[in-house]
Structure 1
Amino acid sequence: MLVDDHALFRSGMASLLAGRPDMEVVGEAQTGEEAVRLAEELMPDLILMDINMPGDGGLEATRIIKEQMPYVRIVVLTASDENDLLFEAVKAGAQGYLLKHLDPEQFLEELSAQIRGEASISGDVALKIIRAFSTQDVERQQTQLTGRELEVLKLVGEGYSNRDIASRLFISENTVKNHLRNILQKLHFENRVQAAAYAIRRGIVDPHKS
């Protein structure tokens, strides 16, 4: 589902995604309020959400949708990765973000990575997430993780994709996904970005490698 207050952008994005056999645009919304209503009606797998919209914009819509439908993946769209709202969106449960100015091929590549759960995030936003979640670290028991899960968490923190992690650990991608799912459940995180920030904060990974 596409959410953006500019009809021309939505039209261009719909045309771009129409060329992908694995993607189908099931609906479009131009306000946050409309996005919430359509999400309840259409129950999409993924929402591309403009973070800067008038009224109750993309941030509030992200919060509401994730509270009501936590299984829906939301990727926010922004003109700049220095947007302060990105941090709030990730805290609200967004999988990550995509920059609007990317060329079509790169946009689709990064969108595919987001769908696979391999979100990337800029340094400034990552640092804010690290600081925000550092106060909650005492409640997250790293000792709950198995040795293999710690290995996976370390590589996630270093920015490796599921495919790269599988290659490095000589396991299948499905096994990596299962380990990551267990990590998120045990540490009570919403997504991969939060887990990566935690790994850096706790010293599981050298921040200079992330």
Structure 2
Amino acid sequence: MTQPVRILLVDDHLLAREGVKELLENQKEFVIVGEAANGIQAIEKTKELLPDLVLMDISMPKMNGLDATKAIKQQFPNIKVVMMTVSYDITDWFEALKRGAQGYLLKNLNTDDLLNGLKAYSLDEIPMSKEMAFRIWKEFKKDGQAEESLSARELEVLQLVAKGHSNKEISNSLNISENTVKTHMKNILGKLQLENRVQLASYAYNNGIV
């Protein structure tokens, strides 16, 4: 049986945390292992609990979610961070991704959309429209990024990442191990000077790779 995704819930509003807990309590895919009310607590709890995923608010006292995300990703790059906020500001979207967040969910999403988004991020999928990918790509575009530096296999992996495939799905599709997929991912990110799967998807869409 697949183990549930262990979530650290970070929000300075108790009612907001209670709402998320109520939403997830009957979802066998997730278990909330801890809570924090600000960015400083989020870092401390992450060190203590080593969750699979941190569900992080942006606006909080003492330390905001963006700064906490950067600190967590620097120390624990394999722990996923998904921002959950009321903000529609696209600059918050970009800033969160720059600091290493895997995704961004709005608190006012309906229950099904919120759960589906959380499930997708936990599986390393990318629930994002092509329009959003283009906007992100424009923000992250850097000189010197060129797919010519990628091997044929790395291009195949990149194409599947851009289509929202998880590492396991890529492994099955290309008949290679998940560890090999992870190695390819690390090499691709390094060659293109990108940080995460969302940026990779944006790059692929807007350079005609998919």
TM-score over 0.5 (shorter chain): yes
Q: Unaligned regions of 5+ residues in structure 1, if any?
A: 206-210
Which residue of structure 2 lines up, in the alignment, with residue 191 of structure 1?
196
Which residue of structure 2 lines up, in the alignment, with residue 117 of structure 1?
124
Which residue of structure 2 lines up, in the alignment, with residue 154 of structure 1?
159
Asked if the contact 2:9/2:54 (under 8 Å) is kept, the reply is yes
User: Take 1:120 and 1:155, find their aligned partners in 2: how far apart are those partners?
Assistant: 14
Asked if the contact 1:162/1:177 (under 8 Å) is kept, the reply is no
TM-score normalised according to structure 2 size: 0.79
CA shift digits 1:68-110 (9 cap, x unpaired): 1111100001224434212111011100111111222221111
TM-score normalised according to structure 1 size: 0.79
TM superposition shift of 1:58: 0.4
Which residue of structure 1 lines up, in the alignment, with residue 4 of structure 2?
none
Q: Unaligned regions of 5+ residues in structure 2, if any?
A: 1-7
CA shift digits 1:154-204 (9 cap, x unpaired): 3543xx3327xx69xx82697689547513433323321010122234332
* Letter matched to residue 44 of structure 2: R
Task: Return closer, same or farther for 1:8/1:106 CA change in 2, 3 Å cut-off.
Answer: same
* Letter matched to residue 114 of structure 1: Y
1:69 aligns with 2:81: no
Asked if the contact 2:189/2:196 (under 8 Å) is kept, the reply is no
User: Take 2:99 and 2:150, find their aligned partners in 1: how far apart are those partners?
Assistant: 25
* Letter matched to residue 171 of structure 1: S
Asked if the contact 2:126/2:197 (under 8 Å) is kept, the reply is yes
% identity of equivalent residues: 41
* Letter matched to residue 28 of structure 2: P
TM superposition shift of 1:3: 0.4
Which residue of structure 2 lines up, in the alignment, with residue 204 of structure 1?
209
Which residue of structure 2 lines up, in the alignment, with residue 182 of structure 1?
184
Q: Name the Cα RMSD after superposition.
A: 3.0
TM superposition shift of 1:152: 4.0
User: Take 1:53 and 1:122, find their aligned partners in 2: how far apart are those partners?
Assistant: 29
Task: Return closer, same or farther for 1:83/1:7 CA change in 2, 3 Å cut-off.
Answer: farther
Alignment of 1:1-210 (within 5 A): 1-121=8-128, 126-136=133-143, 138=144, 140=145, 142-157=147-162, 160-162=163-165, 171=173, 178-179=180-181, 182-188=184-190, 189-205=194-210
Asked if the contact 2:127/2:164 (under 8 Å) is kept, the reply is no
Asked if the contact 1:142/1:187 (under 8 Å) is kept, the reply is no
User: Take 2:90 and 2:25, find their aligned partners in 1: how far apart are those partners?
Assistant: 29
User: Take 1:77 and 1:127, find their aligned partners in 2: how far apart are those partners?
Assistant: 22
